[in-house]
Amino acid sequence: MNKILILTAVEAEKEAVLKGLQGNARFEVRAGGVGPVEAAVSATAALCSEAASYDLVVSAGIGGGFPGVAEIGSIVIADSVALADLGAETPDGFVGVDKLGFGSNRLPVEEALSVRLVEALRARGQSVHYGPILTLSTVTGSAQSAAELIRRVPGAAAEAMEGYGVASAARRSGIPFLEIRGISNTVGPRDRAAWRIGDALAALETAATRLSEVVPT
């Protein structure tokens, strides 16, 4: 793989990733904005630019970890991505677009490379989890909503706001995709004081270093 695009949401995430990559020239890192729409538009613009010829697209940033699965400061690598709030509210509860007959709200990742990254992180003693990462337009703020998301996506490991948008753009271009999250907070009741952005950015930096080692040439 000669050219890899990494899309973060904000500059602080971009800086952490660049630090981890230690000048590896195969990677291009862009901050594309917060939320699935900004992420999809930014990824599409990058992939459609004249100079573009990417072999891999990565969504990377901080995220919330589901309680009992991914603790603050750990890393989550997606085994799939889910647009968890795309669907309809019905008298029987939320129904996803898949059940409504409008396609799927799950997208795959490049599995072999994701697993290699998980193994490389584990081998260095890093706490890393491999599971579904949810993309949402609204940050979860209650235990009830967190439980509902786990009902929708069993095994959910983390949530963030960009992955599915980037994955969707990559899929349209036929390019493999990965998602990486450094965990800054626990998904559940809102508690800004418990946020550990520094720990999450440090985890993200570590993940970027290992990524630069495991991406094949």
Q: Which of 209, 179, 216 is nearest to 17 (CA)?
A: 209
Q: How far apart are CA 72 and CA 70, in angstroms?
A: 7
Site string for ligand LNDFFVEH, 125-154 (x = CB under 6 A): -----------x--xx--------------
49 contact partners, CB below 8 Å, separation of at least 6 = none
Residue from 9, 60, 153, 201 in contact with ligand LNDFFVEH (CB under 6 A): 9
Stretch touching ligand LNDFFVEH by CB under 6 A, among 22-30, 44-52, 83-91, 186-194? 186-194
- Interaction residues for ligand LNDFFVEH, span 99-128 (CB under 6 A): none
Please, what is the minimum distance in Å from the beta carbon of residue 164 to ligand LNDFFVEH? 11
Structure-token pair, residue 104: 């799927």
Q: Does 165 sit near ligand LNDFFVEH (CB under 6 A)?
A: no
Query: What is the C-alpha radius of gyration for the chain, rounded to an integer number of angstroms?
Result: 16
CB 26 within 8 A of CB 213: no
User: Residue written as tokens 């800004």?
Assistant: 192
Q: Does 187 sit near ligand LNDFFVEH (CB under 6 A)?
A: yes
Structure-token pair, residue 108: 């795959």
Q: How far apart are CA 38 and CA 20, in angstroms?
A: 24
Sheet strands (E) in 164-204: 177-186
Stretch touching ligand LNDFFVEH by CB under 6 A, among 44-52, 61-69, 86-94, 125-133? 61-69
How many residues lie near ligand LNDFFVEH (CB under 6 A)?
Answer: 18
Q: Which residues bind ligand LNDFFVEH (CB under 6 A)?
A: 9, 34, 61-64, 136, 139-140, 159-162, 184-185, 187, 190, 192
